[in-house]
Structure 1
Amino acid sequence: MYSIKYLAEDADEKEAWRSLVKMLYRPRLPNGKLIPLSWPLAAYRLLNNICWPLRDNANRLERLFDRFCWALGFFIFIQHNDAELRYILSNNNNLDQMLICGPTYLILVEAHLRAFQLGLKKNNFKNFLKRYYAEIYIDKPTHPKLYANIQKRLRPIWFYSFLYYSTLFSYVITPLTNYLKNVKAPLFKMYYPFDITPNPIYVAVVLSNIWVGFTVISLVAGEDNILSEVMLHLNGRFLLLQQKLRQNADRLLHNTDGRYIADALQDQIIEAIEENVRLYEFAKGFEREFSFRIFVNLSFSAGLLCVLCFKVYTNPMASYGFMFWICAKIMEMILVGQLGSTMIYTTNEVSSTFYECNWELVLMKSTDTKANVRLLKTLALAISTSGKPFVLTGFNYFSVSLTAVLKILQGAGSYFTFLTSMR
């Protein structure tokens, strides 16, 4: 009897979890096929109900539950902000003690701004993902070599996502160590304006700490993976555009009669212009979607790295978890900055591809003078309209490029030197 009862309860729990998962949006290709998600994106989808959008046909109850979770999460983040700020203010005469809480507080504020801004505009984010997977995503059957190259370049990003989660695991074991020491303390350095020692309150505090931790880590790792994946696939589309234009021009030179070759190349150039415009429109939508969150991320990066390094420098044995975060943050900035620089280089090469499409050989082979004039005018239009590379920015203040990242890292080093000199 009891075993049947427990099995039924377990089945009900599994069914409830499946229902909760089903209400979340799952990316698909235009043919309806599910897209395999990398493990950081799968974790982002399952662990971060604040940011991840609902499915298209979510009912009213599911939408109300989603908004309730957003409001409850916002309140919990406010409470954590207050408790950590109280700890900082209470130790404002002791730099070492104050900066013990500095890293977690900066990470919390950054995640608060990014997560709940995204949570307010979930539908916009879902529409962006739909457009990306429908128009930009390069699937394995269509372009196997390019897809394999993209997956290879994503592996370092998956690795530093693991480092971010490793930082969280160093905090998750804190309740166990507190229990063994018979201490009731929160996971992070915090002062609550009420007594947290009663068991029900302490359990609620610890669970809220763990939830905030997973929300922050899943956001940081998940957004980085989405950002990097979109940049790689968009860059791949620009490469395919250039490759197709070169191949079409070579094919025309070998297979097309001289009377029609100029018009045929003009048609190919017009098609490439339209594709280039389409990709640029998507790129601008990409920037609009991520601009605020990129700005917040890069704005906090120098100060966060400075405080993290200072904490590890002053007390390495007690700060081993943040060593993972420092490594992950530096890897994140360098790899994402490199992807941004690659995007700038690739889009800058589009105009050169138009110029190098063997149009002069086509003119030599063509026998239609008027078609030659039309070809040259179209070519001039193509070169002039594709001369500006795409630069992903945060509010046009920070650019996602290796040059910008190196400047931020240099700034973090300067702040760290200043802090150590004040100690």
Structure 2
Amino acid sequence: MWPREDNPTERDRYIDRFLIVFAFLMHCFQAELDAHYLLNNLEDIEDFAAGLPTILLQTEVIVRYVDVINHRDELKDLLKRFYTNIYVPQESDQSVFSRISRQLLGPRMITVFYVATMLNYFQEFVVNILAGGREMIYKQVYFFDNTKMPQYLILIGINFWVGILIITMLFGDLNLLGELLMHLNACYLQLGKDLRLAAARLLESNDSTNIAADYRRELIKILQRNIDLNDFAANLERLFTFRLFISFAASALILCVLLFISYKTNELDMMYYCGDWEQIIYRSDNVEENKKLMKLVILSIELNSTPFSLTGLNYFTVTLTSVVKIVQGAFSYFTFLTSMSSN
């Protein structure tokens, strides 16, 4: 159901809407309890500081949750396009697929850490119950008696459910962005490979009259693919830019200091410089075709003069590395909460 199918049944639509509204209300409920804890500890700076990260994370998740819901149809369209035109399957290119899988090991390992954190929460809950305690997972103050067993079990269940929603949103974005960026990057790099292969094939022929025209036609095909990739990248940027901005901003507030690392693929910048077009022109006897080819090469170079990079509302550049840093920071926060709950 997520993203929803193209033609969901009426029952599925109602279930979908109910879960969306219910999850939103539970997030708001948890945020209110976090705020109540802060208000009760305004004069105790240590306890106040201990509860502050919780409400900041809840606020971040609520904002991101609303953004995800508002753009879920766009996400579905983007994923359809991704798996149709961008995704590099293992059957088509084993080496590229293996390289992408290795690059995504980091985010997947962080996912394991998140799951381990939630399991640790569950362990603390079991120990707490066996000891006769009624401690909640997070730093919260309730406006009613939450220590009675029926209420406690319901509230602790909400705690766990909201926690699962939070970590799945965090590592879900991480893994999804990693998958999209790595496969998109592979497609960009493939353009340069195909251009060089076309040049090598033409250089092996002895047709000095038509070689420039043939290369120009190959270059036009590469440019069309390049434009399609740029359009996909622009849609990706538009869909994730606000969410990434919120994620960076909230992480900075929670952790105070966060190292933002960005990198760009130099091969993309140099792709059309290194397309062996100068060898084609050297071998070509057709002056007019050489002129047309040079104009097209200049246009091609200008097309990638500014390589694609994700941004957070144009305030900073986001790459897979920096996204990993965000989630590593959030993971540190979860570890902090775990240590607090055990004290």
TM-score (structure 1 length as normaliser): 0.73
Aligned residue among 67, 73, 93 for 1:123: 73
Write the deviation string for residues 240-267 of structure 1: whole angstroms up to 9, x where unpaired.
0011001111111112511110101111
- Residue aligned with 2:7, SS: coil
2:197 is aligned with 1:247: yes
2:271 is aligned with 1:353: yes
Task: For 1:256 and 1:269, locate their aligned partners in 2 and report how far apart those are by CA, in whole Å.
Answer: 19
Write the deviation string for residues 273-316 of structure 1: whole angstroms up to 9, x where unpaired.
11111111000000111111100110111221249xxxxxxxxx
Distance of aligned partners of 1:246 and 1:136 in 2 relative to their CA distance in 1, 3 Å threshold: same
Alignment-derived partner of residue 308 in structure 2: 390
Instruction: Give the Å deviation of 1:401.
Output: 4.7
Q: Is the 8 A contact 2:213 2:289 kept in 1?
A: yes
Distance of aligned partners of 1:401 and 1:138 in 2 relative to their CA distance in 1, 3 Å threshold: closer
Segments of 5+ residues of structure 1 without an aligned counterpart are: 1-23, 25-51, 308-329, 409-423
Q: Is the 8 A contact 2:71 2:239 kept in 1?
A: no
Task: For 1:119 and 1:402, locate their aligned partners in 2 and report how far apart those are by CA, in whole Å.
Answer: 23
Alignment-derived partner of residue 221 in structure 2: 271
Instruction: Give the Å deviation of 1:169.
Output: 2.3
Alignment-derived partner of residue 369 in structure 1: 287
Task: For 2:150 and 2:59, locate their aligned partners in 1 and report how far apart those are by CA, in whole Å.
Answer: 27
Task: For 1:223 and 1:355, locate their aligned partners in 2 and report how far apart those are by CA, in whole Å.
Answer: 35
Segments of 5+ residues of structure 2 without an aligned counterpart are: 327-343
Task: For 1:218 and 1:395, locate their aligned partners in 2 and report how far apart those are by CA, in whole Å.
Answer: 23
Matches within 5 A, 1:6-405: 24=1, 52-306=2-256, 337=261, 341-343=263-265, 345-347=266-268, 349=269, 352-401=270-319
Q: Is the 8 A contact 1:53 1:122 kept in 2?
A: yes
Write the deviation string for residues 102-140 of structure 1: whole angstroms up to 9, x where unpaired.
232222221121123202332221111111111110000
Task: For 1:122 and 1:402, locate their aligned partners in 2 and report how far apart those are by CA, in whole Å.
Answer: 22
Q: Which moved more, 1:280-289 or 1:101-110?
A: 101-110
Distance of aligned partners of 1:360 and 1:53 in 2 relative to their CA distance in 1, 3 Å threshold: closer
Instruction: Give the Å deviation of 1:404.
Output: 7.5
Q: Is the 8 A contact 1:101 1:189 kept in 2?
A: yes
Amino acid at match of 1:387: S
Task: For 1:210 and 1:396, locate their aligned partners in 2 and report how far apart those are by CA, in whole Å.
Answer: 35
Instruction: Give the Å deviation of 1:405.
Output: 8.4
Deviating runs (4+, > 3 A) in structure 1?
401-408
Amino acid at match of 1:237: C
Instruction: Give the Å deviation of 1:197.
Output: 2.5
Task: For 1:208 and 1:229, locate their aligned partners in 2 and report how far apart those are by CA, in whole Å.
Answer: 31
Distance of aligned partners of 1:234 and 1:114 in 2 relative to their CA distance in 1, 3 Å threshold: same
Q: Is the 8 A contact 2:202 2:215 kept in 1?
A: yes
Alignment-derived partner of residue 417 in structure 1: none
Instruction: Give the Å deviation of 1:356.
Output: 2.5
Task: For 2:24 and 2:321, locate their aligned partners in 1 and report how far apart those are by CA, in whole Å.
Answer: 35
Amino acid at match of 2:87: Y
Task: For 1:360 and 1:77, locate their aligned partners in 2 and report how far apart those are by CA, in whole Å.
Answer: 60
Q: Indicate the percent of aligned positions where both proteins have the same amino acid.
A: 31
Amino acid at match of 1:104: T
Alignment-derived partner of residue 331 in structure 2: none
Distance of aligned partners of 1:136 and 1:406 in 2 relative to their CA distance in 1, 3 Å threshold: closer
TM-score (structure 2 length as normaliser): 0.89
Q: Is the 8 A contact 1:87 1:190 kept in 2?
A: yes
Task: For 2:217 and 2:302, locate their aligned partners in 1 and report how far apart those are by CA, in whole Å.
Answer: 17
Write the deviation string for residues 28-51 of structure 1: whole angstroms up to 9, x where unpaired.
xxxxxxxxxxxxxxxxxxxxxxxx
Task: For 2:238 and 2:88, locate their aligned partners in 1 and report how far apart those are by CA, in whole Å.
Answer: 22
Amino acid at match of 1:304: I
Task: For 2:135 and 2:282, locate their aligned partners in 1 and report how far apart those are by CA, in whole Å.
Answer: 81
- Residue aligned with 1:140, SS: coil
Q: Which moved more, 1:223-232 or 1:252-261?
A: 252-261
- Residue aligned with 1:55, SS: coil
* Higher RCO (CA < 8 A, seq sep 6+): 2
The count of aligned residue pairs is: 328
Q: Which moved more, 1:298-307 or 1:371-380?
A: 298-307
Instruction: Give the Å deviation of 1:377.
Output: 1.4
- Residue aligned with 2:208, SS: coil
Q: Is the 8 A contact 1:172 1:187 kept in 2?
A: no
Q: Is the 8 A contact 2:208 2:285 kept in 1?
A: yes
- Residue aligned with 2:104, SS: helix
Amino acid at match of 1:400: V
Instruction: Give the Å deviation of 1:200.
Output: 2.4
Distance of aligned partners of 1:115 and 1:256 in 2 relative to their CA distance in 1, 3 Å threshold: farther
Amino acid at match of 1:185: E
Distance of aligned partners of 1:220 and 1:363 in 2 relative to their CA distance in 1, 3 Å threshold: same
